[in-house]
Amino acid sequence: MQGRPHPLGATWTGLGVNFALFSAHATKVELCLFDASGKTELERIELPEYTNEVFHGFLPDARPGTIYAYRVYGPYAPEEGHRFNPNKLLLDPYALSHVGDLKWNPALFGYTIGDEAEDLSFDERDSAPFMPKCRVVDPAFTWGNDRRLRIPWERTLIYETHVKGITKRHPLVPEELRGTYAGLGSREVIQHIKSLGVTSVELLPIHFFLNDDYLLQKNLLNYWGYNTLGFFAPSRRYARTPDFAFAEFKEMVARLHDAGLEVIMDVVYNHTAEGNEKGPTLSFKGIDNASYYRLLPDQKRYYINDTGTGNTVNLSHARVLQMVTDSLRYWVNEMHVDGFRFDLGTILAREPHGFDDQSAFLKACMQDPVLADVKLIAEPWDIGPGGYQVGNFAPGWAEWNDKYRDTVRAFWVGEEGKVADLSKRLAGSADLFDHNGRKPWGSVNFLAAHDGFTLNDLVSYNEKHNEANGEENRDGHSHNYSYNYGAEGPTDDPEINETRERQIRNMLGTLYLSQGTPMLLAGDEFGRTQQGNNNAYCQDNEISWLDWEYGEKGERLIAFTQRLAKLRQRFPILRRGRFLSGDFHEASGSKALSWWKPSGEEMEPADWDDPNTKCFARMLDGRAQESGGIRVAAHDETILTILNAHHEAVEFILPEAPDGEAWVRLLDTNIVGDEEDEEPVFSIGETYTVTGRSLLLFRLQTRRTARPHHPGRPAE
């Protein structure tokens, strides 16, 4: 039967399955049916109809569980951009589930490896025995009352984690659930995440992806998952029962939603696992290479490699753009995902002339009633020309802000001349994001992410230690703004360990007290280490898995992080939906945002330019929080954050304020165990001894009691 050209993919109608596959340049498509194991090919059926560049057909006897793949016929002319080879079994780009695993073999390649003509040669071996296959599924799932949470951006706090890594070593998760979707959805894990003030869990890639052959040869695996081959199917490797990964993923989402946690997926639409002209033919390359990938205009044999992975997905093509947006809508509508983080997001907004904030993809998302209503986060860089675009995405998007990461790291490591830049990062990076009506939440602030040092390793190693990756420590970034404080790696020296732990507290405090959207890397809240590896993409082992036996240090850091979460929730002024101004507010006689030096005076231009300035304060004045003459938050309080990156103590005169008010210390990173102490009360204009390398938080309150004695803190 002819079936229909829409929707693309294999769709069970209740009466049979409709198969539809796009290819603008193919001449014939065969549907290949397999037995339940996926090992034996049972039948080949030519799709009978071709409509609007879509081959389609309907099988009335097919049901969920049907195993299938395609063989696509057309010209094998690499120099013209075409690489059709019907000897190669191809996965459906729209497959919702897979069966079996890929086994690397020369037959997977459309050309004959070792031939003098290289990729211009033609290989006639059948790749089916080495290929995974596609499975037709019934998408029905009992969601109950589950719905997307739509947590406002201003209240969002992101926790980046890995489905397997977070639970693989968790002692309270049943062993059979460790490393699975169900493990992440377990009560103990959810309770811990919630205690940190987290609202949204961001998962490293869970789309169907492959293990690279060169990694397998070194007994390593692709752990992070940035090697996608199927944009509609969840990875089988994180499921208790691999054939039902899609259902287990849905159950995990439902459990996280029930706890009030959003699910954000890290997605990789910028490239695929097929690599360049010498890569395998697994799906897109054999279906319509010239449509799916960006090719060099005058040498179509070769791929544009703006991703650094061999190929670049061609979102300038309408059908490829459709595939990506169809995929996104599927994960929102069918899988109830709340948002996406786009790996190498600049690629998606790149047209043939370069990055364009009005690209087809960005406009498609903006006008789409489904996608415009979810969280969209860009990693705003790639390696192509003009690829660094932090702050330049369209309104409605948030972006990873690596300027925040590097500036905060550099300040706390003691680099000179960082105060002016740090003030911008603390205030939501208005210099980057305050345009076109964008808001402070557009800056996703982070100190560490999956790619790079953990927060603990940032204060424990001067150099990266990636030897376990098998690349002689050549991989990974070398400029990390890290410092070991006297010993490379773990040490028994109590002074070094105390300094390291305080520096972690300083950076965590900076993150939680900054304007913008904070993102915490899983495990940083208890001092997780990767043994100095800052590129653990291939370490599916104890290097990457979170170690929940974190000891007293970990308990102290967790308690401190939980205290920060409470403070961020307590003070709405830290989560304002608009950029704060340093303009004088006539009605209140104050400024919403002001900067202070240790002398008790406001910062002046010369202070910002002084490379020796390493201690300063930010005041957020709740009295000046008005918009159009209307008080926007009656409960806004005035808070003061002091940051001291000097190695030595600094005498800091607390800024003046109206009579009858006093400063209450809420936080001092030099005082361990001070998390719940909101005393003593300090007088306006009093000198406070700010310990070297420390962060403090005060709030202004009406004086009710005299300051009790607290030796060693206020200067005598």
> In sequence order, what DSSP letters do the residues of 390-448 get, joined into one string?
TT-SPTT-EEEEHHHHHHHHHHHHT-TT-HHHHHHHHBT-HHHH-STT--GGGEEEES-
How far apart CA 132 and CA 243 sit, in angstroms, is: 12
Show the CA angle centred on residue 701, arms to residues 699 and 706, nearest 5°: 110
Q: Which of 100, 166, 84, 235 is nearest to 545 (CA)?
A: 166
How far apart CA 578 and CA 433 sit, in angstroms, is: 11
How far apart CA 208 and CA 129 sit, in angstroms, is: 19
**C-alpha torsion 344→346→352→358, nearest 10:** 150
Task: Compute the residue count for the chain.
Answer: 716
**Cis omega (within 30 of 0) on the bond before 205?**
no
Query: Are 452 and 534 a contacting pair, CB within 8 Å?
Result: yes
| Count of CB atoms situated within 10 Å of the CB of 27 | 13
> In sequence order, what DSSP letters do the residues of 535-570 get, joined into one string?
--TT--STTTS--S--HHHHHHHHHHHHHHHHHHHH
- In a 13 Å sphere around the CA of 439, the CA atoms on its Cβ side amount to 12
- In a 13 Å sphere around the CA of 702, the CA atoms on its Cβ side amount to 1
> In sequence order, what DSSP letters do the residues of 132-170 get, joined into one string?
-EEE--------TT-------GGG--EEEE-TTTTTTT-
The answer to whether 326 is a known catalytic residue is no
How far apart CA 537 and CA 477 sit, in angstroms, is: 13
How far apart CA 98 and CA 101 sit, in angstroms, is: 9
Of 160, 343, 399, 434, the catalytic one is 343
> In sequence order, what DSSP letters do the residues of 461-477 get, joined into one string?
-SS---GGGTSTT-SS-
Q: Which of 250, 221, 253 is nearest to 237 (CA)?
A: 221
Distances (CA, A) of 425 to 121, 525, 695, 698: 54, 21, 16, 20
Tokens of 281: 């033919």
| Count of CB atoms situated within 10 Å of the CB of 289 | 28
**Cis omega (within 30 of 0) on the bond before 129?**
no
Query: Are 439 and 515 a contacting pair, CB within 8 Å?
Result: no
How far apart CA 286 and CA 288 sit, in angstroms, is: 6
Long-range contacts formed by 355-359: CB under 8 A, 24+ apart: 355/386, 355/387, 355/389, 355/392, 357/392, 357/393, 357/394, 358/394, 359/315
The number of helices, as runs of H, and strands, as runs of E, in the chain is 15, 37
φ/ψ of residue 440, rounded to 5: -55, -30
| Count of CB atoms situated within 10 Å of the CB of 460 | 27
Of 160, 277, 379, 457, the catalytic one is 379
The answer to whether 379 is a known catalytic residue is yes
Q: For residue 313, what is the DSSP state?
A: B
Q: Which of 358, 276, 262, 261 is nearest to 312 (CA)?
A: 276
* Tokens 């990457």 sit on residue: 544
How far apart CA 713 and CA 682 sit, in angstroms, is: 10
> In sequence order, what DSSP letters do the residues of 609-670 get, joined into one string?
H-TT--EEEEEE-GGG-EETTEES-TT---EEEEEE-SSS-EEEEPPP--TTEEEEEEEETT
| Count of CB atoms situated within 10 Å of the CB of 467 | 12
Active-site annotation, residues: 343, 379
